[in-house]
Amino acid sequence: MTLCMSNGRILFLCTGNYYRSRFAEELFNHYAQRQGVNWQASSRALALERGWTNVGPISRYEIEALQHRNISPSGATRLPAACTAADLESADIVVAMKEVEHRELVRTKFPAWEERVMFWNVHDIDVASPRDTIEND
């Protein structure tokens, strides 16, 4: 796993593929394209069924934060998608947004991947305000 590769794919995971992972995907793709880096990000949900309060394809906080950065979200109309084994297998790097929230989901749904996933500590809206989470990107 190295970013020195001439091209690659990164997969961002979160619970509902509505907020954190979608923002990471859009931000990564914007800056990769801007820098001429031939890497592509995608994002998926580890527990799509838990996102019952999500309204629309992507959080309005993400749209606002991206627009504030003059980034036009390319996937703003895509509905959240559940992670599959094929998603994991096609990625060179897999990042789950919050270890205490996502390690058990990875272990349960994709046990062979637990040690291959990089776990970050990006809070969801129930722990930190969208402004605090987004401004610390």
Residue 30 domain-assigned (yes or no)? yes
CATH code of the domain covering residue 90:
3.40.50.2300
- 136 pLDDT higher than 60: no
- Distance CA(136)–CA(113), nearest Å, equals 27
pLDDT bucket at 124, cuts 50 / 70 / 90: low
pLDDT of residue 132: 61
Residue 100 domain-assigned (yes or no)? yes
Residue 13 domain-assigned (yes or no)? yes
pLDDT of residue 2: 44
Residue 29 domain-assigned (yes or no)? yes
Residue 47 domain-assigned (yes or no)? yes
pLDDT of residue 54: 74
- Distance CA(67)–CA(78), nearest Å, equals 17
Range of the domain at 100: 7-135
- Distance CA(1)–CA(79), nearest Å, equals 29
Look up the pTM and report it: 0.86
Residue 1 domain-assigned (yes or no)? no
Q: Which residues pair with 13 in a beta bridge?
A: 44, 96
| Tally of CB atoms within 10 A around 28 | 19
pLDDT of residue 84: 98
Residue 38 domain-assigned (yes or no)? yes
Q: Which residues pair with 119 in a beta bridge?
A: 96
Beta pairing, strands 93-96 & 7-14: parallel
φ, ψ of residue 37 to 5 degrees: the values are -90, 130
Total domain count, the chain: 1
- Distance CA(126)–CA(124), nearest Å, equals 5
Residue 2 domain-assigned (yes or no)? no
